[in-house]
Chain A
């Protein structure tokens, strides 16, 4: 059972509201795609949901405010994949994924259950072939999968990911979205920022559309991603050959 609730969530920085009065609730089995044009507040929303930035309003899990949990407590419930895929030292891919178990004990000597979680995550994100490589030598796609595996290794009920498919080829993008979809179907909750509206429409169970820091639509994919939303929010339209700029 997951009872995730967001009430009047507002994030202000230097007097400007990056996010205004966002409200929604979410539960087990949902794969929520967060879409919107650049600067709409997608990353800010996900950061606030993950509790890594301060915000006004209330984000609660099972009634408990996320920002009052200790970092470890929160990390056992919510995994978060930021947009920046930083790895600052020449660590091996496997060492990075092992950090996903940080909240469960010492990062160096993994207990059997932690090692098993790391193995499962490496396999799920298809990282087995380069697990022993220095992360600084990995391609963009491999890095993305390593970071996803790191988030999966935490085995949290909730996973929040900020554009996990950015810079990936279509096959790996679909593989990652499909994986998150299956994780949600197995009783989890995934909240994922996506730029590719087609991927979002196909794999998400629900879409939240943000524009200029406000929630403008929250519904099933077909109901949320209407032609009108495409035109008014994204300023694009679709014809027989694909997306084009909307007529002004």
Chain B
């Protein structure tokens, strides 16, 4: 792709991303026509309540959760120079979900609404810290992914334990949401609670972006061309942890978006890992808001969980990326 084509493709991506968001507000089971729904954005009628209070926050929550997972996947992949790195594979999502689940179980969430996002973000930070220390100082990508797999299983076991001990079915059903991922019944309050963390995480990842580009050459060459490796690593890790934690707090642990979105975004930016962050966010937003729209339209009595739908599409995509991955390091 030439530079002008890439710019055009970038704008197209932004327009598609925004269109899916709008479409998610216009389409739904309430039987509003597109015109009624559109006017609902600006009126106080019943359709206004449906569009603004139910559909918009839900669509926005799905979009934001996908966008932050996409961006944090792009940052982790750039840092680890591995297209399979993502918050799900590395256990960061699972740890964040464990944080959210613990906050619910110990009744902290009932006392303060910000306890859930805070716990999710703190646990995500803890996960990246563990990955950083156990994954060896030099972050050998293969070792790191193995540590991540272990971390993921361990958090999964602890979540299962909490579910085992759940005192009543209401808490259990709440916990299932965090395990599988869902954005049903999200309000603007839920979004406002996590939005600052998402924004801070994105800013941190974007500050790491030039260093991520340099890291394409490996750590030593990147350092020699003038990249500050320690700073890049800290920014990328904290950025990814903030975004993942906030995303999990909003929508639960949703896998594979962090792998698939950057993979689809990279051709738009000549594979440059530093420039892939924003496109990966746009693609991730499209994926989850489209997936959520899709499950809302399915004619089942019991709604499919968003994370389940994402995994049904994402897991085969993950296997496909894994099978095609080849690295050149001669």
A interface, CB within 8 angstroms of B: 47, 50-52, 70-72, 74-76, 78-82, 84-92, 95-96, 99-100, 102-103, 106-108, 135-136, 140, 143, 147, 150, 154, 167
Asked whether B81 lies within 8 Å of A88 as measured between CB atoms, the reply is yes
B213, A107: Cβ atoms under 8 Å?
Answer: yes
Q: Are A88 and B329 in contact (CB under 8 A)?
A: yes
* Distance of A61 Cα from B123 Cα, bound (Å): 45
Q: Inside 8 A of A70's CB, which chain B residues have their CB?
A: 228
Q: How many A-B residue pairs have CB under 8 A?
A: 108
Listed stretches B190-198, B269-277, B280-288; interface member: B269-277
Interface flag for B227 (CB, 8 Å)? yes
Closest chain B residue to A86 by CB distance? B218
Are A96's CB and B217's CB within 8 A? yes
B210 lies within 8 A of A99 (CB): no
Cross-interface CB contact of A85 among B225, B226, B271, B330, cutoff 8 Å: B330
Q: Is the CB of B274 within 8 A of A107?
A: yes
Query: Would A82 and B271 be within 8 Å (CB), given that A71-B227, A88-B327 are in contact?
Result: no
In the complex, A78 Cα to B228 Cα: how many Å?
15
Among B224, B275, B326, contact of A75 (Cβ-Cβ < 8 Å): B224
With known contacts A86-B221, A88-B218, A135–B328 Cβ distance under 8 A:
yes
CB contacts (< 8 Å) of B326 on chain A: these are 136
**In the complex the two chains form, what is the Cα distance from A47 to B213 in whole Å?**
21
20 residue pairs of the A-B complex, CB under 8 angstroms, read A51-B224, A52-B224, A74-B224, A74-B226, A80-B221, A85-B329, A86-B328, A88-B329, A89-B81, A95-B270, A99-B214, A99-B217, A102-B213, A103-B226, A107-B214, A107-B272, A108-B272, A143-B328, A143-B330, A154-B225
Q: Does B296 contact A (CB under 8 A)?
A: no
Given A89-B81, A102-B225, A150-B217, 19 more pairs with CB closer than 8 A: A51-B223, A51-B224, A71-B223, A71-B228, A71-B229, A82-B224, A86-B81, A86-B328, A87-B329, A88-B329, A89-B216, A89-B271, A99-B214, A99-B225, A100-B225, A102-B214, A108-B213, A108-B275, A154-B225
Please state if A91 and B275 are interface contacts (CB–CB under 8 Å): no
User: Given that A89-B273, A107-B274 are known contacts, is A84 also in contact with B227, CB under 8 Å in the complex?
Assistant: no
Do the beta carbons of B328 and A82 come within 8 Å of each other? no
Q: Are A89 and B272 in contact (CB under 8 A)?
A: yes
Given contacts A86-B329, A99-B214, A140-B330, is CB(A91)–CB(B220) below 8 Å?
no
B253-277 contacts to A, CB under 8 A, are: 266, 270-275
Look across to chain B and name the residue whose beta carbon is closest to the beta carbon of A50: B224
Give every chain B residue within 8 A of A79 (Cβ-Cβ). Answer: 224
Let me know if A91 and B270 touch, CB within 8 A: yes
**Nearest B-chain residue to A137, judged by Cβ:** B328
Assess the B221–A82 pair: CB atoms within 8 A. yes
How distant is the Cα of A135 from the Cα of B327 in the complex, in angstroms?
11
What's the nearest-Cβ distance from chain B to residue A17, in Å?
A: 20
Contact A102 B81 (CB under 8 A): no
**Do A82 and B213 contact each other (CB < 8 Å), given the known contacts A71-B226, A89-B266, A90-B271?**
no
In the bound assembly, the distance between CA atoms of A44 and B220 in angstroms comes to 12
Residues of B within 8 A of A106 (CB): 210
Chain B residues, CB < 8 A from A92: 270
| Cα separation A99 to B211 with both chains bound (whole Å) | 11
Q: A71-B226, A107-B214, A108-B275 are in contact. Are A84 and B270 (CB under 8 A)?
A: no
Interface-central residue, A52, A85, A107, by most chain B CB under 10 Å: A107
| Distance in angstroms between the alpha carbons of A99 and B214 in the assembled complex | 7
- Chain B residues whose CB sits within 8 angstroms of the CB of A80 once the complex forms: 220-221, 224
Bound state CA distance, A75 and B275, in angstroms?
Answer: 22
Q: Which residues of B contact A47 (CB under 8 A)?
A: 220
Asked whether A91 and B271 contact (CB < 8 A) given A84-B218, A102-B210, A143-B330, the answer is yes
B217: which of A71, A87, A136, A140 is its contact (CB, 8 Å)? Answer: A87
Given A88-B218, A136-B328: A99 and B213 within 8 A (CB)? yes
B227 contacts across to A, CB distance below 8 A: 71, 102
Smallest CB separation, A88 vs chain B (Å):
4
Q: Chain A residues near B217 (CB, 8 Å)?
A: 86-88, 96, 99, 150
Q: How far is the CA of A140 from the CA of B330 in the complex (A)?
A: 7
Task: Tell whether A72 pairs with B224 under 8 Å between CB atoms, given A91-B272, A92-B270, A99-B213.
Answer: no
A188 to chain B minimum Cβ distance, whole angstroms, is: 16
Which residues of the partner chain B approach A50 to less than 8 Å between Cβ atoms? 220, 224
Give the docked Cα–Cα distance between A106 and B214 (Å): 11
List 10 A-B pairs, minimum CB-CB distance, nearest first: A75-B226, A103-B226, A86-B218, A80-B224, A88-B81, A72-B226, A89-B271, A102-B225, A82-B220, A52-B223
Q: How far is the CB of A131 from chain B (nearest CB, A)?
A: 13
Contacts of A99 in B (CB 8 A): 213-214, 216-217, 225
Nearest-CB residue, chain A, relative to B141: A88
Give A199 to B275 CA distance when docked, in angstroms.
42
Q: Which A-chain residue is minimally distant from B330 (CB atoms)?
A: A85
Q: Chain A residues with Cβ under 8 A from B266's Cβ?
A: 89
Q: Which residue of chain B is the closest to A104 with respect to CB atoms?
A: B226
Contact of A82 with B226 in the complex, beta carbons under 8 Å: no
- Give CA–CA (A123, B221) in the complex, Å: 21
A78, B224: Cβ atoms closer than 8 Å: yes
